[in-house]
Amino acid sequence: MIPLTRRLSLRPVDELVTAERAQAKWRYMVDPPGFFPLIVRGGRGIRAAHDGGTLTLQFGKSPVAAGDPSSYGGMPLGTAAWVDRPLNDAEPAVLKQEISESDAESVVSVLGIDSRFYMFMCSNTNAGHFQVHRSEPAFMQGGPID
């Protein structure tokens, strides 16, 4: 047997950073200030148009916060919410993103499915719509879909 010549230093569990937390932290560091994740659930009620390089997406306002991926299924079909709260009455139910036609078709395809979700990193323009910095599919984890 080879003798152990150095001791291992163990860190408390609360200092460990999961890959998911590190990735989330990195993403928020690269997004401009004032942009926040808006989760949109697919299904009836979503209306989309692509014109001149801009995707315009209209949706309902969820009465509940999106929460974390395990609670996305609590959002009604075709609605959107912030991760920490529902949209308020003064916030728009429209977002706009500069995106290619083929990428817009992919977004619309995903949001045509009741059990699918999309995350849009948004900022309120105070001009009747959210401006999107970036977007990507979001995936519900665990739990039943309502």
Tens digit of each residue's pLDDT (9 = 90 or more) over 34-46: 999 999 999 999 9
What is the value of pTM for the model shown? 0.78
Q: Please give the pLDDT value at position 89.
A: 96
pLDDT less than 50: residues of the chain: 1-16, 22, 26, 28, 144, 146
Report the C-alpha gap between 82 and 114 in whole angstroms.
18
Give the 3-state secondary structure of 84-139: CCECCCCCCCEEEEECCHHHHHHHHHHHCCCCCEEEEEEEECCCCCEEEEEEEEEC
Q: Please give the pLDDT value at position 30.
A: 80
Q: Please give the pLDDT value at position 92.
A: 98
The full set of domains in the chain, from first to last, is: 35-138 (2.40.50)
Element (H, E) at 20: helix 19-30
Q: Please give the pLDDT value at position 60.
A: 98
